[in-house]
Amino acid sequence: MLPLFQNYPGLKEKLPHVPLGNFPTPVQKLERLGEKIGAGRLYIKRDDLSGEIYGGNKVRKLEFILGQAREKRAAEILTFGFAGSNHALATAIYAKETGLRSISMLLPQANAGYVRRNLLMGFQTGAELHYHRNYFAVIWGTLLVLAKHRFRSGRFPMVIPPGGSSTRGIIGFVNAAFELREQVKAGQLPEPDRIYVALGTMGTAAGLILGLRAAGLKSRVIPVRVVDRKYADAGNLARLLRRVNAFLSGLDRSFPRIEYPETDTMIRHDYFGDDYALFTPAGMEAVALMEEREGIKLEGTYTGKALACLIEETERNRGRDQVILFWNTYNSRDFTPLIRGADYHRLPRGFHRYFEDEVQPLDPGYKKDI
């Protein structure tokens, strides 16, 4: 049973949940990276291994989102992201496993090898991919697609917000905090002082902060912002957290209402660089260091930037002997065999440029890419 339900049995019948992944995800000590940066007690939470075909942080969210879809008897789901969106891909893969069709409304982003791979994999999975040039186009495009599907099947697709950060999705990370507490209790790691995690649509951080408080852990979450400030800031993070808190306490009165002032947030803004999905030198150094020292693959859009922050702050605090946990939100399953030979020409025209243009200069993997 899910750790959250074990602690709050009242939530179990009220929150439909579809098991999609492998949980708990392992916790591992990073001896060699820790030694290099002066952290004697550095750990990683391997959410990259959360799913068999595709891991990463979206699997936890989708277990609750697709639970809700099943409850609503939805046949199709529609979601949003940038062209290389891990969320859109994870949704396509797991929706298909659950018997749902998925529709992805995608926006432009900086080019990289993973954008090509994610697009091909999404297409291969059977997702309906739409390219939109800007926000205006995405809004109109969505209304049009919703109307079209309604006309064809008599029902609107269920709409999921970007990053899967709906109330239901975020509960996946409330549960993750209870999962971590079990691992602390079992002696797999000491109670962390700091948990570093990338901050995108904020669902991961909001769920973790709420869950840790409810679980009575004193660990501080350090969210490292990797999207534009207009999407992620202290006020919005606090609002998201309070919304999920009110929802859970409403379903089960024994779920605590926590105080979460906006000033409490530890968001780090200095690792974002110039744009979303534009890799930074510090981020790519962090990616290279993790690969070289621990053999774990990260990437430049989210996890590299978060790890760069962890490294810099740990080196600055040398000698403090804190327990530091890096929450790995990226997928590490290699799905390239599944897209070998796939032809990008079959994708909608707007996506072709990701295959025809160069990738950004800091993308190290581009030579190996399709």
Ligand X SMILES: *Cc1c(COP(=O)(O)O)cnc(C)c1O
- Write down the least CB distance from residue 332 to ligand X, Å: 10
- Write down the least CB distance from residue 173 to ligand X, Å: 7
Nearer to ligand X, 149 or 198 (CB): 198
- Is residue 204 a contact residue for ligand X (CB under 6 A)? yes
Strand partners, 197: 223
Of the candidate residues 98, 118, 303, 322, the single one contacting ligand X (CB under 6 A)? 303
For residue 106, the SS3 value is strand
Segment near ligand X (CB under 6 A), from 68-76, 195-203, 339-347, 349-357?
A: 195-203
Task: Return the residues of window 15-74 that contact ligand X according to CB under 6 A.
Answer: 56-57
Distance CA(123)–CA(351), nearest Å, equals: 11
- Write down the least CB distance from residue 13 to ligand X, Å: 26
Query: 60 with 17: CB under 8 angstroms?
Result: no
- Is residue 201 a contact residue for ligand X (CB under 6 A)? yes
Distance CA(162)–CA(149), nearest Å, equals: 20
Q: How far is CA 208 from the centre of its chain?
A: 12
- Write down the least CB distance from residue 310 to ligand X, Å: 14
Q: Which residues of 193-204 are buried (b: 16+ CB within 10 A; e: fewer)?
A: ebbbbbbbbbbb
Site map for ligand X, 304-343, x if CB under 6 A? -------------------------xx-------------
Task: Return the residues of window 78-137 that contact ligand X according to CB under 6 A.
Answer: 86-87
- Is residue 165 a contact residue for ligand X (CB under 6 A)? yes
Residue 310: closest CA among 222, 193, 229: 222
Length of the chain: 370
- Is residue 203 a contact residue for ligand X (CB under 6 A)? yes
Query: 26 with 201: CB under 8 angstroms?
Result: no
Tokens of 5: 């339900």
Peptide bond into 24 cis (omega under 30): yes
Nearer to ligand X, 57 or 245 (CB): 57
Query: Which residues contact ligand X (rule: CB under 6 A)?
Result: 56-57, 86-87, 163, 165, 198-205, 302-303, 329-330
